[in-house]
Amino acid sequence: MTNRLPQKTSSTIATLNELAKLANYSLMDTLNCDPDATENGADHAPRQVFTGHYVPVNPTPIKDPEYVAHSKNFFSELGFAESMAESSDFVRMFSGDLSQVPEPMRKVGWASGYALSIYGTEYIQQCPFRTGNGYGDGRAISVLEAVINGRRWEMQLKGGGRTPYCRGADGRAVLRSSIREFLAQEHMHALGVPTSRSLSLYVSKTEKVKRPWYSQGSRSENPDMLISEAVAISTRVAPSFIRVGQLELFARRTRKNEHPKAMEELEKIVLHLIDREYADVVDRQLTTPEKVVLLAREFRSRLTSLVANWIRVGFCQGNFNSDNCAVGGFTLDYGPFGFCDVFNPHYQPWTGGGHHFSFMNQPNAAQSNFGMFCSALRPLLVSNQDYLLALDEIQSGFSKVMHTQMNKMWAAKLGLDLDLDTGTLNTESHQTRCNELIRELETLMMQAPIDYTIFFRELSSIPDDIGPLKKSFYNSLYDNLYNDVADDTDSKELDKYWAEWLEKWKMLLNSSSDANATSPRTSEEISRQMKLVNPKYILREWFVMPAYQQATAGNYSLIRELQDVMTQPYAEQSKELEDKYYRLKPPEFFEVGGLSHLSCSS
């Protein structure tokens, strides 16, 4: 069974042959293959997939692959030798060529289908067949499941070519977007935010595709030119890549009785998910209804914690559809994502995302996805009224749990001592004052306006006055960008409000510390804890753009530098790096396409 894993071994994996011995294909071995699929994986044209959990697909190798980067940290965690990343057989496999992989590795990968819901509404019209049977992994092809050091990992190529779900596209990713995802995944992990991981990144020295993009300095909302870009393949890794949309697909087929095995396939994918992602908390001896209810409760906990963490570090996912929501409770989609520079509740890096996927609306988007998740589970409980009621109760409690997670997050960012079980401060009075303090802070952050990351990092030093905090203020040089909030507020008056807020915060900091601890925390202790919550370095888009621009000329040094800096986001680093990466966004970068907004991930 998938949850019976070998004992942990600490030996180094030095070759692809050694990695091959750890291969264990639980998904292909326990779930249903599409009966219309080809045996050899030559299945690259768009078509409808009516049943089955996966389609065997051969990746399309990129031509003349060249090493760009690998995650040193993740290699170390997996026990991989550094030399593997540039070895010919490893490069061949993870740039899409499975033809020579050692046994028992398989010479074919797989792609999965899923349904699409946007903010709680089911969609089929984006499917080229208008049926919903064409959604799925259009350019993501899993090539390996392996149990490494007692943990199961699935390795998936992003940009590995066409699958039956490609909807007419070319199945490729370009170097620019691959660099963004490669850096972002490892940065998020270092920030302490659950995420898929980056393994490796290779680029073709000869193969290019055309993509719409922005001309230099363009302030257009959508790309205004077509450019030729090198294709690349990055490998992302996770315990599984099962999405809410995947469960939805099988639930829709079950509700509509689309084929005789619809209910069976829904139950199998849910039980497989539990084995892959929740075996440590869901006893496999329980009945299916019992497992389903426990799954819902655990996923609710993970999802609410995840979204609170996103807001803690200033991350906006941008496109939080159900098909971009991993049921393992981690960050999955790194397409039109962004880290906010200026605090703005409505920050949205994706021009097509709208308010519903904006920065501070992410808890509501998560609730919509959780609602679709619960709807997908209901067919499994139709004959168990008590369990249906339990599922309804779990779903209706989402907003309360989300609110508790947000309370914990804000309290941690502000250094306040709270009850970790309830997410509240020690008294109702303290909690009320905390809520008022947060509301005042949000207003002030918009009026200044402030840099979200720099503000909280400076606050973590518990300054005597607002002087250090003003390092985060976008001053008069930026006023023309914020006429609606900045010009109407006298700067001296605003300084007064900030000083009053800072005093209130310090009083609450002292009183909550005194009341919740047998011995009051010192300022140094509070500061140290806050600096473990409020990062100093964030992967801002204007840091990434020069890296992929240089990479197009074969210079990968800035990628390596960003890897080093962004995998130590809470650490104090050299003065040179601080001057380079701990600073306000330059005014000339505001509202520039590709820097402040994106129309697609390509």
Residue among 34, 137, 275, 323 flagged as catalytic: 323
Q: Which residue in the block uniquely carries the two structure tokens 């660099």?
A: 179
Query: Is residue 449 within 8 Å of residue 485, measured between CB atoms?
Result: yes
State residue 211 phi and psi, 5-degree precision. Answer: -140, 145
**Residues 332, 336, 339, 341: what is their CA dihedral angle, to the nearest 10 degrees?**
-170
What 3-state DSSP class applies to 110? strand
Query: Is residue 299 within 8 Å of residue 293, measured between CB atoms?
Result: no
Pairing, β 225-238 against β 173-174: antiparallel
DSSP letter (8 states) at residue 276: H
Both tokens assigned to 300: 């609710």
Query: Is residue 363 within 8 Å of residue 402, measured between CB atoms?
Result: yes
Report the half-sphere exposure of 69 (CA within 13 A, side-chain side).
30
Q: How far apart are CA 303 and CA 326, in angstroms?
A: 9
Q: Is 89 a residue of the active site?
A: no
- Exposed, middle or buried by CB within 10 Å (0-12, 13-18, 19+), for 85? buried
Long-range contacts formed by 396-405: CB under 8 A, 24+ apart: 397/300, 398/300, 398/304, 398/367, 398/370, 398/371, 399/367, 401/300, 401/301, 401/304, 402/304, 402/307, 402/308, 402/363, 402/366, 402/367, 404/304, 405/304, 405/305, 405/307, 405/308
What 3-state DSSP class applies to 238? strand
- Exposed, middle or buried by CB within 10 Å (0-12, 13-18, 19+), for 287? exposed
Both tokens assigned to 124: 């089929």
Helix or strand run (H / E) with residue 264: helix 262-277
Concatenate the DSSP letters of all residues of 162-209 into one string: --TTSTTS---EEHHHHHHHHHHHHHHHHTT--B-EEEEEEEEEEEEE
Query: Is residue 467 within 8 Å of residue 502, measured between CB atoms?
Result: no
Q: How far apart are CA 589 and CA 542, in angstroms?
A: 8
Q: How far apart are CA 350 and CA 316, in angstroms?
A: 9
Other C-beta atoms lying within 10 Å of the C-beta of residue 70 = 23
Angle of CA points 416, 418, 420, to nearest 5°: 135
Query: Is residue 437 within 8 Å of residue 414, measured between CB atoms?
Result: yes
Query: Is residue 518 within 8 Å of residue 397, measured between CB atoms?
Result: no
Q: How far apart are CA 475 and CA 42, in angstroms?
A: 58
Query: Is residue 141 within 8 Å of residue 109, measured between CB atoms?
Result: yes
Give the list of residues 6+ apart from residue 31 with CB closer than 8 angstroms, or none. Answer: 52, 53, 54, 268, 269, 272
Pairing, β 197-213 against β 65-70: antiparallel
Active site members: 323
